[in-house]
Chains A and B, each alone.
Chain A
Amino acid sequence: MKLVERFRLFALFLVLLAMVAFCVSQRSVALLLVTVPLAMLSWYITEGPRGRVLPRWFQNGLLAALLVWAAFAWSALPQVADTMGLLGKFVQWLLLVKLYGRKTPRDYAQIIALSAVLVMAGTLQTVEFSFAVIVFAYTGLALWTVLLYQLWASRERAREERARSIASAREVFGPASAATLAPPVQAVFGRHTTWQFRAVAFVSTGLGLGISIAIFLIFPRELSEFARREFAFGAPRTGFSEEVRLLTNNRITDSQREVFTVTWLDRVGEPIQFSQPLYLRGAVLDRYRPGDGRWSRPHGGAPPRLVSTSGPSRAQSAVAGQDFHSLGSRGARIEEKFETYVQRVRMSSLAFDVVFAAWAPIAIASSEGRTYEFEPSSFLIRDARLGGIGRSSAYSVKVQPFPSDATLAALGPAEPPQPRINVTFPVPEVDAFARELLAELNPESIPTAEAVAADPQSRWVHNRRIARAFTEWLQSPLFRYTTDLGSFAPVRDEDPIYSFLTRYRFGHCEYFASALVAMCQSLGIESRLVTGYLAIEYDDINEHYVVRESSAHAWAEIRVGDRAWMQLDPTPSATIAALQERRRSWADNVRWIYDRVEFLWNSQVVTFDSSAQATLVERVGGAWQRSMHDWIEKGRERLRRLNQFFVFEQAGTIWLGLVGFAVVLAILAPISLRRRRARLRKAAGLTRNDRESRRLMRQLGFWLDVLDTLDRHGIAKPTACPPRMHGEVVRSVSAQAGSAFMDLVDIYYRIRFAGDVMDAQRRAQAAELVQTLSSALTGQSQKS
């Protein structure tokens, strides 16, 4: 049967899909190119014309070698978290070994289970859209494969069992005995087997999908901030990082995948290309931990301000019809007469909580009503994820690149933060180096506390000058920009920033920015590291900036006023410009479709958390309640009008209820009666619809009860079997039941064929006999 024969092919595809999924999760092209072709080759070798398989002892030897390799590899793992990756590789090679061996039903069960383990290992490593597509495909294919496996394995087991029986009989009765003439096992099936199998598979798939969605929506989850940061599953790898770890980010991503686009609009709403690259801020870090070279966010600061947007506006506004909501404190007015631009961001593939905005954002609008958190101390904006499901796909921010003090005052905390006098950097070597360098570069010294007290503004001037000097020094040919730090080996007991400044003098933007901030902090200058994206590539055709994963960047901000901060980018600008030059290729023309779908995946599924659940429950529950309420009200209104029409007054509702119930009964009763008549006609063999048949139908109702009783107790009378012959079967189960049944058969024959009439006495007798039959059969089944 072809349906069953397809199982092995399905199993192969399942394994291939699992292998591809794991390789995608590991981003290992080498593993993909080696294992998948080998797996495909196994089909030709084992199932081909010659059908060769590895002997069992050889397979066991390979398995032992695999185990040894896995043990060594595990002991050499840099992190315990990489165990799942190692397990996946082990399982992948193990699958290959099994594919080349003999495959019994048990082997196939193991292969299917191993493929599931492989996919599971990949699931613990990544949540990328491409991987998810493969997992969904795998799940659907696995369902079909397991269904086919049940059929194929049963057939194989039946054949094995038959062969064993024949062999056993030959042992007992001799090799030439007639036992060898046993018929072969053949598949017994009805009509439309393949079609019905597909129907069952589709229904199961649909049910599975529905149940999976339901479980996904109601599964309890708490996506804590810690978990989000530590496991980073809420934020897929994008190049942008809210934390900087100098020792682990050995290679910055150079992926050209489009993250989002930025349209820069002037005051009249025309898209323009700004005179400078756009520094889109995502995170601000100012605390450095020397032990692991890690920059983290500042603690404390003013509490974030919540700003809620209302979605797209119907009013014809100068800027894309959106209502902007001020980020300033309540009551604070922000003037827009200075250079004010609108930065419109449209997400392409990845979903963020962070709102990337240039300095300084003053108002925000979004494509749907959302709530944002605005940090007055750092001017960072983040989606608060209150009342929304998924991530926003588009937002607009009004920015003023050169804000006035009044604007900064409106945006910042109520009281300007006091200048920090005792700013230090925790690495003394960097401190010493910075002072030496300052002495070498800039004859101006650091102002003393008395000088600052006498002229507070001088401090900011000195900050500006010193920071610029350091920036120019870092941008000099002494330093080389590169994203590959393979040769940047950490030196024991030496801070990586110090190593960068003195020993290696090459690195990526994070090192440059870290060096600048470290040196400034060493000299008591308030400075901070900023990460985000740098938008340089401008698409003239679509009139927007294209921001790619490789556009992730880090720079520094120096405090140059009570609330003012100055952006400085120590990374050589020429190098950046060369790297960020226009990279649009033909793939971008088609990739946008994939990016849109991936964005939906990331925003709606990957980051679906407890707050989104709560919002969904609120929306769906609210809508459901409102809908139910409306229906009930409508029903009541109609009932009231009906009551009024018929002038039923107080008891009218009860009367109407009774009438409604009677109507329902009147509809259902004839249907039930009709079905019963059809069954009786079939059971009694009454094919014609004449007067005699109708008379018999009225009298033979008890016979249907008899047949139902037999059916309930598992001894249904076959249609082709005469009642009297079936009596033997009933008698074999229970003598009392057999006797009652034969009496009923007599009555049936008399009425059906002899023309007797079913009078009241006979009717009572028949009812009693049916009762006796049922009791006897029930008692017999309980006894056994």
Chain B
Amino acid sequence: MRRRYHLHLPGLLYVLLTLVVGIAAANRPNNLLVWVFGAMLSGVLISGIVSGAMLMGVRGTRADPRRGVVGEPMIVRYAITNRARMWPAFNLQIEEMARGRDHNGGLSRAGQWSDGMRPAAGWVLHVGPGDTVHGEAVFFPQRRGRFVFTRFRVWTTFPFGFVRKSLSFDQRTETLVHPRVLALREDLLGALTKGGLGGFRLSSNVGPSEDYFGVREYRPGDSVRQIAWKRMAAGQGVVSIERSSATPPRLRVVVNLRTETAQLRVAEGRTSPREMEETAISIAASVIALAERQGYEVGLTVLGVPALRSPVRRGHWHIEKLMATLAAIDLDAPRDSEAKLPDADRDRSIIVAIHPDRAVPSIAPDGAWHLVSTQLATLVRQEKP
């Protein structure tokens, strides 16, 4: 924890003006001017006393920020505690500092937060003695990946704005920023899955679909249509047919990152190779989000870089894992240009392969859909003017 005092420009001007008034009061026999000088000087003294007393008992803790998403506001909360018994604290500004190192003495794999987002500050109007309040700062991440917050500072210019006093706190927190989720066309997946391997199968649960599941004893209230007449005729008593529940379609997203960034082909006038890769990752995240919203079971495979392989599932936490996998992709890591789609991933599900520069059909079985990052404009939903 470190305390700092800064006399910034308004304070400096005020001190100079006080000196001028003091000199004028000494030269002119005007006692009212002496009063004014005394009042101005007392302002400087009070500023130091009050602000010093205010920050003496202030402590801050950064709450673990939840994951962020590129293009969406990421709220980082701070618990500010005033341990003083009598003295409140007013007008506290909280801001992250861009410097600082982790405990290993060097930068970890996670980059500084300032590499991926603009600075943002939180503001707390008042913390009473013995109170704890929570201020928040809203960041807008511009890049996906792991980011670390190492140190933050609480400062104030209260009461008069002459001197800025600050307290800095060392607290390391890592956060993961998910890739940007774009608003894709709602009919996109429908066009992809129409007539193809829909991945429909029997579900192991009872449900309202038309597929046969099994028979059971007749219960009063069962529909006549459900009665298995043939079984009854065979002397098995009155039994009802049970149907299985519908299974959602299955979709696997395959991200092709086998080609090194420098070897990607960039069309003239297009963005840089790294941005093409990021766009591909964003498209993958957007497809996953769209699929989840439309009730698909989704899986993810990333070819070329070390990444977790995930099964095809549904559910909020499963999607979070997929997004975290995409967020954690390290594009600077060495690429495996021979990586192949595992056989297990070729199971009955729709495969959507996403490529940064050009489609490589060989990475996916026949029937897979291939998307390229340059197609982004045709994939996103067009906003009405």
Enumerate chain A interface residues (CB-CB to B < 8 A).
1, 4, 109, 119-120, 123-124, 127, 131-132, 135, 139, 143, 146-147, 149-151, 154-155, 158, 161-162, 165-166, 168-169, 172-173, 176-179, 181-183, 185, 187-193, 196-197, 199-200, 203-204, 207-216, 219-221, 223-224, 227-228, 231, 233-234, 605-609, 713-716, 718, 729, 731-735, 780-781, 783-784
A residues near B138, Cβ cutoff 8 Å: 162, 165, 182-183
Task: Evaluate whether A208 and B127 lie within 8 angstroms (CB atoms) in the complex, with A161-B121, A178-B73, A715-B170 already known.
Answer: no
B307 at interface, CB cutoff 8 A: no
B359 at interface, CB cutoff 8 A: no
B34 at interface, CB cutoff 8 A: yes
A234-B29 Cα distance, complex, nearest whole Å: 7
B residues near A233, Cβ cutoff 8 Å: 28-31
Interface residues in B86-124 (C-beta closer than 8 Å to A): 88, 90-91, 93, 100-103, 105, 118, 120-121, 123-124
Task: Evaluate whether A716 and B59 lie within 8 angstroms (CB atoms) in the complex, with A158-B121, A193-B125 already known.
Answer: yes
B residues near A135, Cβ cutoff 8 Å: 32, 35-36
A135-B33 Cα distance, complex, nearest whole Å: 10
B residues near A172, Cβ cutoff 8 Å: 71, 142
Q: List 16 A-B contacts (CB under 8 A).
A: A127-B31, A132-B32, A147-B158, A149-B161, A151-B91, A155-B125, A161-B120, A165-B140, A178-B69, A181-B73, A200-B159, A207-B45, A228-B29, A715-B171, A734-B103, A784-B100
Min Cβ gap B179→A in Å is: 12
B11 at interface, CB cutoff 8 A: no
Task: Evaluate whether A732 and B172 lie within 8 angstroms (CB atoms) in the complex, with A173-B180, A187-B125 already known.
Answer: yes
The answer to whether A606 and B161 touch across the interface, beta carbons within 8 angstroms, is no
Min Cβ gap A608→B in Å is: 6
The answer to whether A208 and B31 touch across the interface, beta carbons within 8 angstroms, is no
A residues near B120, Cβ cutoff 8 Å: 161, 165
B residues near A177, Cβ cutoff 8 Å: 71-72
A158-B92 Cα distance, complex, nearest whole Å: 11
Residue of A nearest to B87 (CB): A200
A193-B103 Cα distance, complex, nearest whole Å: 39
A191-B88 Cα distance, complex, nearest whole Å: 10
Of the residues B135, B159, B183, contact of A146 by C-beta under 8 Å: B159
B241 at interface, CB cutoff 8 A: no
Min Cβ gap B43→A in Å is: 7
Of the residues B82, B90, B142, contact of A197 by C-beta under 8 Å: B90
Interface size on B, residues (CB 8 A): 74
A248-B361 Cα distance, complex, nearest whole Å: 105
B41-66 vs A, Cβ < 8 Å mask (1 yes, 0 no): 11101100110000000010100000
Task: Evaluate whether A216 and B124 lie within 8 angstroms (CB atoms) in the complex, with A120-B21, A200-B88 already known.
Answer: no
The answer to whether A188 and B171 touch across the interface, beta carbons within 8 angstroms, is no
B188 at interface, CB cutoff 8 A: no
A485-B160 Cα distance, complex, nearest whole Å: 51
The answer to whether B161 and A179 touch across the interface, beta carbons within 8 angstroms, is no
A124-B72 Cα distance, complex, nearest whole Å: 58
Of the residues B46, B101, B131, contact of A208 by C-beta under 8 Å: B46
A219-B40 Cα distance, complex, nearest whole Å: 14
A583-B69 Cα distance, complex, nearest whole Å: 85
Excluding A169-B140, A188-B135, 20 further A-B contacts by CB distance (< 8 Å) are: A4-B125, A131-B32, A135-B32, A150-B158, A151-B91, A158-B121, A166-B140, A176-B383, A177-B72, A178-B69, A183-B73, A189-B126, A190-B88, A190-B131, A207-B42, A208-B39, A221-B29, A234-B29, A607-B31, A783-B105
The answer to whether A154 and B159 touch across the interface, beta carbons within 8 angstroms, is no
B residues near A784, Cβ cutoff 8 Å: 100-101, 170
Of the residues A143, A155, A223, A735, contact of B103 by C-beta under 8 Å: A735
A158-B119 Cα distance, complex, nearest whole Å: 12
Task: Evaluate whether A215 and B38 lie within 8 angstroms (CB atoms) in the complex, with A605-B31, A718-B61, A732-B172 already known.
Answer: yes
B7 at interface, CB cutoff 8 A: no
B142-184 vs A, Cβ < 8 Å mask (1 yes, 0 no): 1000000000000001111100000001111000000010010
A residues near B312, Cβ cutoff 8 Å: none
A738-B134 Cα distance, complex, nearest whole Å: 27
Residue of B nearest to A222 (CB): B29
Contacts between chains A and B (CB distance < 8 A), count: 226
B211-254 vs A, Cβ < 8 Å mask (1 yes, 0 no): 00000000000000000000000000000000000000000000
- Identify the interface centre among A123, A131, A139, A607: most chain B CB within 10 Å of its CB: A123
A162-B33 Cα distance, complex, nearest whole Å: 43
Of the residues B34, B71, B140, contact of A215 by C-beta under 8 Å: B34
A609-B26 Cα distance, complex, nearest whole Å: 11
B296 at interface, CB cutoff 8 A: no
The answer to whether B90 and A200 touch across the interface, beta carbons within 8 angstroms, is yes
A507-B257 Cα distance, complex, nearest whole Å: 106
A residues near B308, Cβ cutoff 8 Å: none
Task: Evaluate whether A713 and B1 lie within 8 angstroms (CB atoms) in the complex, with A158-B123, A176-B383 already known.
Answer: yes
Chain A's interface: helix, strand, loop or mixed, by majority?
helix
The answer to whether B29 and A190 touch across the interface, beta carbons within 8 angstroms, is no
Min Cβ gap A671→B in Å is: 16
Of the residues B32, B70, B127, B157, contact of A127 by C-beta under 8 Å: B32
The answer to whether B91 and A139 touch across the interface, beta carbons within 8 angstroms, is no
A residues near B159, Cβ cutoff 8 Å: 146-147, 150, 200, 204
A119-B21 Cα distance, complex, nearest whole Å: 12
The answer to whether A150 and B49 touch across the interface, beta carbons within 8 angstroms, is no
B25 at interface, CB cutoff 8 A: yes
Interface residues in B166-210 (C-beta closer than 8 Å to A): 169-172, 180, 183
The answer to whether B29 and A609 touch across the interface, beta carbons within 8 angstroms, is yes
B residues near A234, Cβ cutoff 8 Å: 29
A606-B31 Cα distance, complex, nearest whole Å: 5
A4-B124 Cα distance, complex, nearest whole Å: 13
B273 at interface, CB cutoff 8 A: no
A360-B153 Cα distance, complex, nearest whole Å: 78
Task: Evaluate whether A196 and B39 lie within 8 angstroms (CB atoms) in the complex, with A150-B160, A609-B29 already known.
Answer: no
A155-B142 Cα distance, complex, nearest whole Å: 26
Task: Evaluate whether A196 and B88 lie within 8 angstroms (CB atoms) in the complex, with A178-B72, A179-B72, A188-B135 already known.
Answer: yes
A168-B142 Cα distance, complex, nearest whole Å: 11
Of the residues A1, A154, A609, A729, contact of B91 by C-beta under 8 Å: A154
The answer to whether B42 and A212 touch across the interface, beta carbons within 8 angstroms, is yes
A275-B29 Cα distance, complex, nearest whole Å: 42
- Identify the interface centre among B10, B69, B88, B133: most chain A CB within 10 Å of its CB: B88
A residues near B172, Cβ cutoff 8 Å: 732-733
A189-B124 Cα distance, complex, nearest whole Å: 6
A224-B26 Cα distance, complex, nearest whole Å: 12
A residues near B123, Cβ cutoff 8 Å: 154-155, 158, 185, 187-188
A168-B73 Cα distance, complex, nearest whole Å: 12
B residues near A132, Cβ cutoff 8 Å: 32, 35
- Identify the interface centre among B26, B90, B142: most chain A CB within 10 Å of its CB: B90
A residues near B383, Cβ cutoff 8 Å: 176
The answer to whether A219 and B25 touch across the interface, beta carbons within 8 angstroms, is yes
A residues near B121, Cβ cutoff 8 Å: 158, 161
B residues near A179, Cβ cutoff 8 Å: 71-73, 140
The answer to whether A231 and B33 touch across the interface, beta carbons within 8 angstroms, is no
B306 at interface, CB cutoff 8 A: no
A residues near B61, Cβ cutoff 8 Å: 718
B376 at interface, CB cutoff 8 A: no
B residues near A606, Cβ cutoff 8 Å: 31-32
Task: Evaluate whether A207 and B125 lie within 8 angstroms (CB atoms) in the complex, with A233-B28, A606-B32 already known.
Answer: no
The answer to whether B30 and A231 touch across the interface, beta carbons within 8 angstroms, is yes
A221-B31 Cα distance, complex, nearest whole Å: 9
- Identify the interface centre among A185, A187, A208, A231: most chain B CB within 10 Å of its CB: A208
Of the residues B38, B131, B171, contact of A212 by C-beta under 8 Å: B38
B128 at interface, CB cutoff 8 A: yes
Task: Evaluate whether A168 and B1 lie within 8 angstroms (CB atoms) in the complex, with A188-B124, A216-B38, A732-B172 already known.
Answer: no
Residue of A nearest to B100 (CB): A784
Min Cβ gap A210→B in Å is: 8
A59-B88 Cα distance, complex, nearest whole Å: 41
- Identify the interface centre among A120, A197, A231: most chain B CB within 10 Å of its CB: A120
